[in-house]
Chains A and B, each alone.
Chain A
């Protein structure tokens, strides 16, 4: 298991280095926005990982409610936490790109607003997980995960359904959509790199959560054994 993780980590860091080179050096400079357009190669892949994590959290939460397997609960919390990390990056890099491109840091556009709401939902989810204990905890968290997943779907479709400040999809939105093949190459390398990094972080967080669950269980068993000795 450890060697598999190490091999995957090496591949991920090689991909990330390649992605960084493609984004900052190899990709051509965009004609209208100039150098700042290179934020695209980090902003969009991070949004992609975020939109993979939240539906995965939803599926894991539902599966946990059905099967009550602690490993599924660990997967749910891992995907939610990694999703929040990537959502934070999206919410930080977006305004940094928005300021030179639009002239404002933030606009209450459907995609931007729904992404902020998504971040708030999942931060609430993590706070709920952190500070509540007992049976209804997982059920409440799963209910929040349903809201979160609905909002994640809304985030995905917001630029297709509404016209706002955020640009339309780069791919598949009419005859004038699409980008230069060299940009496309840099984009796909970065998509692969950040997806692999997202998987790596979920893997790491999952192992941490499973270990924490086992330690908690061992503490409970030890306490029970102590109580049993005390009553004898």
Chain B
């Protein structure tokens, strides 16, 4: 069972981690856009 849980947990950690990286990317771009508008 521990191998099964490890596989699913690792999968979702990678996927959620990637979504978090994309979210940070969007936030940084929003800041850039705000700087440009100033």
A residues with CB within 8 A of B: 20, 24, 35-36, 38-39, 42-43, 46, 85, 88-89, 92-93, 96-97, 99-100, 197, 201, 204-205, 208, 211-212, 215, 218-219, 222
Contacts and interface: CB of A to CB of B under 8 A. Distances in A.
Nearest to A197: B15
B36 A205 contact: no
A38 B4 contact: yes
Contacts of A89: 10-11, 14-15
B4 A93 contact: no
Chain A interface helix/strand/loop/mixed? helix
Chain B interface helix/strand/loop/mixed? helix
A93 B10 contact: yes
Contact of B4 (A20, A36, A92, A197): A36
Interface in B1-38: 1, 3-4, 6-8, 10-11, 14-15, 18-19, 22, 25-26, 29, 32-33, 36
Contacts of A42: 7-8, 11
Contacts of B33: 211, 215
